[in-house]
């Protein structure tokens, strides 16, 4: 994104700089080279304040220190600068890419920052197109999320899993491609239900030849790339050729395929435009928050949209300043909307393929578009005043951005009210509710197996997923929840208590996990609270932080009571209490996070730890027969005792032994 700029130089650096900055810092600024690069500002605690780029590092960085910026946001930031780091690069394009990589890595407070920890889904077609005489060329179409491999073909990215599944359903209806996994495919003896409902051509049992299936795969790929009309013409030519050869059954199959494809194209006629791959970006800013709505067009089809909500918009707004490399008069600062959109484009396409066309609701820097073209190797064009179909797409994206932002503001207003209600109900001495930090612990296991403890974090009026932690609990009696709670609390706060005893400021400088929360919730009643009290007494931490969430009569939701470790009486907040709703929300999230971890750990123990070769009586031959019959270890694990006993060489007694080992 564009970086902070102070006003052009008016006088010498030493004569006008604020006295708060050290001589060492000013000397570093004066010694900077007049070259392109990236600079980073840090405060006294070592936290990153801002990351920016410059054509001329000396001129740009010096401009921050050449006048008193008063009470503006840029002045507030400059007053905190204690240290700077710079990196020289070869060009402005390199500076822009490095700047946004650092923004995503360091999360500086005065940069607009987009966070997206979810990868985009793709539609995947396995294998490489084989020659027509290869009898085993039966590619699979599937949903995929992760790193791509050259041996497969990927189409997308898609904005949501729903969009991918719709595309897969289309591939089944029109081209009848298989979706089953290879172990199932290799062990079929008769067609599955998908063949009966005309969603698969049953290549698993030879109901379609390899060359014909390869034709369907090729047509599906052309359709996904947007060449639908060419696919129709090719299908019509093949249908006529079969008819002339008196192969009427094959011609009828192609006729049905043409009809299905024509029906799809008729339903999506609005999408049959010249644009193949386009991203449409619309931004809306209101109430200190922003929403960028990204709509995707791939292969000429509108696949849906996805909202993004940046952080630090309020801190970064109003501190932008643009000056050119020649030092001429500074241009007018762009709108906040333009800053947000430029930040999104710069950060989003660092890891996501950029399409050749971008339709934008606000203009962005031509240098940014040029840098994207250099990085991707694709000529990228951007328009912010589109016409015809593009204009309709942009208007739709703008409407969705407004709706998503309104929803977010409504939810945040409700969440802030809940936070305030909880602070009032528990008399928490905290003036800045934005920084109120709550940590909640829960224990999960199945009859003592695969015990996991979870710690979830609530701050800034929302759950902080990036700060969640799981703890594998070992060395306790299976099923002893009290011992598990004692272990997780000691592991979470043991080292922190030592740091606080030595130097309280060191914990504050260590970040969010380096300070005590204002509230520690434990899922449980008096027993769990007593354990937590013992741990906090042992560590010398205040008991007032601990609150237990005790289930009410009949374990009914809304009847929970709060139990305190410092001797206060139990509190029932009321079924309709906003404070209780927030406590329940945090408690339920801790429970969910613990259960998912426990199930994953249990699955590893049961499947990976119970390998067939480790079972007495199972040698190479019997293992091979089991894997062939059930398609892999998971298939064997899912089979019942009677099914296992039907395998040649597996007696009833051995089947029971296998079942016990895998369950």
Q: How many CA atoms lie within 13 A of 540 on its CB side?
A: 8
Tokens in use for 35?
């070259």
pLDDT score at 6? 38
| pLDDT class of 267 with cuts at 50, 70, 90 | very low
Q: What is the average per-residue pLDDT within 251-270?
A: 61
| Spatial separation of the C-alpha atoms in residues 386 and 161, rounded to whole Å | 29
| Spatial separation of the C-alpha atoms in residues 364 and 335, rounded to whole Å | 11
Q: Is the pLDDT of residue 148 over 80?
A: no
pLDDT score at 15? 39
Give the residue carrying structure tokens 């709505």: 293
pLDDT score at 440? 93
Q: What is the average per-residue pLDDT within 468-491?
A: 88
The per-type count for the chain, helices as H runs and strands as E runs, is 23, 18
Q: Residue 119 region, left (φ>0) first, then alpha (ψ -120 to 50), else beta?
A: beta
Tokens in use for 415?
């969440």
Helix (H, G, I), strand (E, B) or coil at 399: helix
Q: Is the pLDDT of residue 278 over 60?
A: yes
Least confident of 116-125, 322-331, 594-603, 612-621: 322-331
| pLDDT class of 117 with cuts at 50, 70, 90 | low
Q: Is the pLDDT of residue 130 over 90?
A: no
Judged on CB neighbours under 10 Å (0-12, 13-18, 19+), 61 is: buried
- Tens of pLDDT, residues 365-412: 888 888 888 888 888 899 988 888 888 889 999 999 998 888 888 877
| Spatial separation of the C-alpha atoms in residues 39 and 86, rounded to whole Å | 4
Q: Is the pLDDT of residue 658 over 60?
A: yes
**Nearest residue to 370 via CA among 360, 361, 380, 362:** 380
Judged on CB neighbours under 10 Å (0-12, 13-18, 19+), 490 is: middle
**Cβ-based neighbour number of residue 522 at 10 Å:** 27
pLDDT score at 241? 77
Domain range summary for the chain, segments of one domain joined by +: 13-106, 278-322+332-405, 433-605, 609-662
**Cβ-based neighbour number of residue 219 at 10 Å:** 23
| pLDDT class of 182 with cuts at 50, 70, 90 | confident
**Nearest residue to 155 via CA among 371, 301, 349:** 301
Indicate the Cα dihedral angle 165, 168, 173, 178, nearest 10°: -130
Q: What is the average per-residue pLDDT within 555-563?
A: 76
pLDDT score at 293? 92
Least confident of 17-21, 214-218, 221-225, 446-450: 17-21
Tokens in use for 289?
């928050």
Tokens in use for 436?
């109120």
pLDDT score at 371? 85
pLDDT score at 486? 92
Q: How far apart are the first and last CA of the chain?
A: 54
| Spatial separation of the C-alpha atoms in residues 322 and 333, rounded to whole Å | 6
pLDDT score at 430? 65
| pLDDT class of 328 with cuts at 50, 70, 90 | very low
What percent of the residues of the chain are helix, what percent strand, and what percent coil, each to the nearest 5? 45, 15, 35
CA triple 46-49-53, angle to 5 deg? 120
546 vs 166, residue with greater confidence? 546
CATH class name, domain 433-605: alpha beta
Helix (H, G, I), strand (E, B) or coil at 251: helix
316 vs 91, residue with greater confidence? 91
Q: Is the pLDDT of residue 272 over 50?
A: no
- Tens of pLDDT, residues 31-40: 888 888 899 9
**Nearest residue to 280 via CA among 392, 372, 117:** 392
Contacts 24+ apart (CB under 8 A), 373-382: 374/93, 375/93, 375/97, 375/349, 376/349, 378/354, 380/354, 380/355, 380/356, 381/356, 381/357, 382/357, 382/358
Give the residue carrying structure tokens 């959109």: 341
Helix (H, G, I), strand (E, B) or coil at 134: coil
Q: Is the pLDDT of residue 4 over 60?
A: no
| Spatial separation of the C-alpha atoms in residues 364 and 51, rounded to whole Å | 19
DSSP result, 517-551:
-SEEEEESSHHHHHHHHHHHHHHT--GGGEEEEE-
Q: What is the average per-residue pLDDT within 506-530?
A: 74
84 forms beta bridges with 41
pLDDT score at 316? 66
% of the chain residues with pLDDT over 90: 9
| pLDDT class of 26 with cuts at 50, 70, 90 | confident
pLDDT score at 108? 87
360 forms beta bridges with 281
Q: What is the average per-residue pLDDT within 11-28?
A: 62
Least confident of 118-122, 333-337, 445-449, 602-606: 602-606
**Nearest residue to 125 via CA among 178, 79, 73:** 178
| Spatial separation of the C-alpha atoms in residues 252 and 248, rounded to whole Å | 6
Q: Give CATH for domain 13-106.
A: 3.40.1440.10
Residue 171's contacts (CB-CB under 8 Å, 6 or more residues apart) are 123, 141, 177, 220
- Same CATH topology for 278-322+332-405 and 433-605: the answer is yes
Tokens in use for 255?
């006729």
| pLDDT class of 103 with cuts at 50, 70, 90 | confident
Give the residue carrying structure tokens 């497969």: 152
Contacts 24+ apart (CB under 8 A), 551-555: 551/525
Q: Is the pLDDT of residue 559 over 60?
A: yes
Q: Is the pLDDT of residue 512 over 80?
A: no
| pLDDT class of 530 with cuts at 50, 70, 90 | very high
pLDDT score at 610? 46
**Nearest residue to 64 via CA among 319, 387, 295, 437:** 319
CA 11 to chain centre: 47
- As a whole number, the mean pLDDT across the chain is 78
Q: What is the average per-residue pLDDT within 404-432?
A: 80
| Spatial separation of the C-alpha atoms in residues 6 and 75, rounded to whole Å | 9
| Spatial separation of the C-alpha atoms in residues 103 and 93, rounded to whole Å | 15
442 vs 97, residue with greater confidence? 442
Length of the chain: 663
DSSP result, 550-609:
E--GGG-TT--EEEETTSPPPB---TT-HHHHHHHHHHHHHHHHHHHHHHHHHHIIIIIT
Q: Is the pLDDT of residue 428 over 70?
A: yes
Q: Is the pLDDT of residue 417 over 80?
A: yes
Judged on CB neighbours under 10 Å (0-12, 13-18, 19+), 276 is: middle
Q: Is the pLDDT of residue 508 over 80?
A: no
Tokens in use for 579?
């404070």
For the ranges 46-60, 305-319, 593-607, the one whose mean pLDDT is highest:
46-60
Q: Is the pLDDT of residue 652 over 60?
A: yes
563 forms beta bridges with 548
pLDDT score at 319? 56
Q: What is the average per-residue pLDDT within 183-202?
A: 85
442 vs 148, residue with greater confidence? 442
Q: Give CATH for domain 609-662.
A: 1.10.150.20
| Spatial separation of the C-alpha atoms in residues 173 and 220, rounded to whole Å | 11
| Spatial separation of the C-alpha atoms in residues 458 and 441, rounded to whole Å | 12
Q: Is the pLDDT of residue 264 over 70?
A: no
Least confident of 152-161, 463-472, 583-592: 152-161
User: Is 3.30.420 the CATH number for 278-322+332-405?
Assistant: yes
Q: Is the pLDDT of residue 18 over 90?
A: no
Q: Is the pLDDT of residue 245 over 80?
A: no
Q: How many CA atoms lie within 13 A of 623 on its CB side?
A: 12
Q: Is the pLDDT of residue 197 over 90?
A: no
Give the residue carrying structure tokens 């969430």: 549
pLDDT score at 280? 92
| Spatial separation of the C-alpha atoms in residues 472 and 50, rounded to whole Å | 37
Q: At residue 85, what are phi and psi to the nearest 5 degrees?
A: -130, 145
pLDDT score at 640? 83
Tokens in use for 590?
């801790």
pLDDT score at 330? 43
| Spatial separation of the C-alpha atoms in residues 389 and 275, rounded to whole Å | 9
User: Is 229:262 a contact under the CB 8 Å cutoff?
Assistant: no
| Spatial separation of the C-alpha atoms in residues 481 and 598, rounded to whole Å | 14
CA-based max dimension of the chain: 95
């Amino acid at each position: 994104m564009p970086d902070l700029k102070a006003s052009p130089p008016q006088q010498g650096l030493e004569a006008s700089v604020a006295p708060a900055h050290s001589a060492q810092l000013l000397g570093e600024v004066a010694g900077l080279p007049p070259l392109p690069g990236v600079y980073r500002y840090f405060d006294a605690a070592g936290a990153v304040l801002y990351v920016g780029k410059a054509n001329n590092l000396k001129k740009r960085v010096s401009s921050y220190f050449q006048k008193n910026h008063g009470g503006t946001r840029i002045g507030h930031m400059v007053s905190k600068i204690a240290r700077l780091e710079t990196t020289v690069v070869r060009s402005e394009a390199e500076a822009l890419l490095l700047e946004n990589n650092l923004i995503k890595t360091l999360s500086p407070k005065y940069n607009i920052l987009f966070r997206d920890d979810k990868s985009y889904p793709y539609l995947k077609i396995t294998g490489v197109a084989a020659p027509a005489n290869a009898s085993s060329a039966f590619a699979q179409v599937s949903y995929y999320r992760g790193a791509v491999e050259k041996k497969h073909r990927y189409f997308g990215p898609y904005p949501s899993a729903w969009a991918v599944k719709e595309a897969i359903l289309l591939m089944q209806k029109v081209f009848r491609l298989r979706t089953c996994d290879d172990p199932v495919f290799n062990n079929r003896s008769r067609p599955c239900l998908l063949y009966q409902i005309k969603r698969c051509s049953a290549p698993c049992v030879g109901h379609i030849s390899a060359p014909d299936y390869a034709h369907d795969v090729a047509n599906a790929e052309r359709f996904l790339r947007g060449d639908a009309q060419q696919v129709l013409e090719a299908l019509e030519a093949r249908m006529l050729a079969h008819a002339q050869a008196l192969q009427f059954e094959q011609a009828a199959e192609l006729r049905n395929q043409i009809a299905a494809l024509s029906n799809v194209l008729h339903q999506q006629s609005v999408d049959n435009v010249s644009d193949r791959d386009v991203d449409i970006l619309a931004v809306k800013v209101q109430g200190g928050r922003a929403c960028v709505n990204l709509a995707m067009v791939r292969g000429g089809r509108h696949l849906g949209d996805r909202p993004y909500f940046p952080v630090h918009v309020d801190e970064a707004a109003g501190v932008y300043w643009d000056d050119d490399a020649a030092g001429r008069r500074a241009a007018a600062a762009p709108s906040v909307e333009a800053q947000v959109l430029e930040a999104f484009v710069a950060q989003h396409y660092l890891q996501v393929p950029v399409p050749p066309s971008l339709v934008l609701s606000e203009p962005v820097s031509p240098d940014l578009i040029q840098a994207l073209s250099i990085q991707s190797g694709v000529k990228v064009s951007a328009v912010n005043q589109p016409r015809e179909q593009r204009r309709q797409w942009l208007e739709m994206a703008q409407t969705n951005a407004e709706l998503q932002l309104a929803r977010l503001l409504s939810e945040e207003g409700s969440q802030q009210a809940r936070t305030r209600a909880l602070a009032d109900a528990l008399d928490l001495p905290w003036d800045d509710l934005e920084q109120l930090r709550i940590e909640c612990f829960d224990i999960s296991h199945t009859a003592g197996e695969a015990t996991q403890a979870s710690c979830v974090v609530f701050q800034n009026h929302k759950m902080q997923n990036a700060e969640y932690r799981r703890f594998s609990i070992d060395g306790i009696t299976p099923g002893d929840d009290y011992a598990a709670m004692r272990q997780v609390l000691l592991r979470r706060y043991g080292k922190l208590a030592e740091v606080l005893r030595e130097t309280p400021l060191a914990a504050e400088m260590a970040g969010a996990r380096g300070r005590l929360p204002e509230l520690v919730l434990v899922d449980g009643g008096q027993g769990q609270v007593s354990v937590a009290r013992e741990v906090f007494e042992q560590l010398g931490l205040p008991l007032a932080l601990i609150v237990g969430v005790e289930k009410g009569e009949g374990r009914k939701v809304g009847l929970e009571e709060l139990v305190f470790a410092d001797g206060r009486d139990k509190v029932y907040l009321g079924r309709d209490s906003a404070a209780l709703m927030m406590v329940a929300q945090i408690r339920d999230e801790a429970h969910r996070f613990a259960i998912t971890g426990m199930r994953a750990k249990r699955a590893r123990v049961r499947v990976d730890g119970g390998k067939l070769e480790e079972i007495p009586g199972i040698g190479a031959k019997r293992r091979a027969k089991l894997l062939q019959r059930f398609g892999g270890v998971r298939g064997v694990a899912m089979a019942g005792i009677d099914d296992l006993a039907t395998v040649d060489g597996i007696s009833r007694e051995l089947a029971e032994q296998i079942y016990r080992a895998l369950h």
